[in-house]
């Protein structure tokens, strides 16, 4: 499968391109379509917004559950491990669907979906064609 990087307007006429994947996240009978999940090779874990946990029916005590996570730039934020596996579905017309089951964490402080190594990238072989702004994705053998 090949996907174009997603274009983001940053204001003042600036545009950036980020490697993202459109996918569906599933847990139980709930499916959440995602347009632009960021492929983050520097992320140790796959991190989803806490609103996804709510949609999946998970509940956390925001003051007592979870653990501190270190983010890029030295910041800290609290993450909550999914109590159940998450199913990831990557589809593209004309290609075989790629599916895997992995782990994910949820957080209040990260609106962007980060596809990190644990739970996601460990199941894929991805080629970055930066100049062409294309991601090439295959299921890992």
Question: For each of the chain's 141 residues, which pLDDT tens digit applies?
Answer: 999 999 998 888 899 999 999 999 999 999 999 989 999 998 888 999 999 999 999 988 877 787 777 666 667 677 888 999 999 999 999 999 999 999 999 988 777 899 999 999 999 999 999 999 999 999 998
Give per-residue burial for 40-68: e unless 16+ CB within 10 Å, then b: beebebbbbbbebbeebebebeeeeebee
CATH code: domain 23-123 is 2.40.70.10
State the number of CA atoms in the 13 A half-sphere of 109 facing the CB.
13
Please give the pLDDT value at position 68. Answer: 76
Give the model's pLDDT for residue 37: 95
């Amino acid at each position: 499968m090949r996907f174009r990087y997603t274009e983001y307007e940053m204001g003042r006429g600036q545009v950036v391109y980020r490697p993202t994947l459109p996918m569906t996240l599933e847990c139980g009978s709930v499916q959440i379509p995602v347009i632009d999940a960021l492929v983050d090779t520097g992320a140790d874990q796959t991190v989803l917004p806490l609103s996804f946990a709510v949609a999946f029916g998970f509940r956390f005590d925001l003051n007592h559950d979870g653990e501190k996570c270190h983010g890029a730039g030295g910041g800290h934020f609290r993450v909550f491990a999914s109590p159940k596996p998450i199913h990831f579905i990557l589809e593209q017309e004309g290609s075989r669907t790629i599916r895997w089951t992995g782990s994910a964490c949820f957080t209040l402080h990260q609106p962007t979906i980060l596809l990190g190594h644990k739970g996601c990238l460990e199941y894929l072989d991805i080629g970055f064609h930066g100049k062409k702004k294309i991601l090439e994705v295959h299921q890992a053998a």
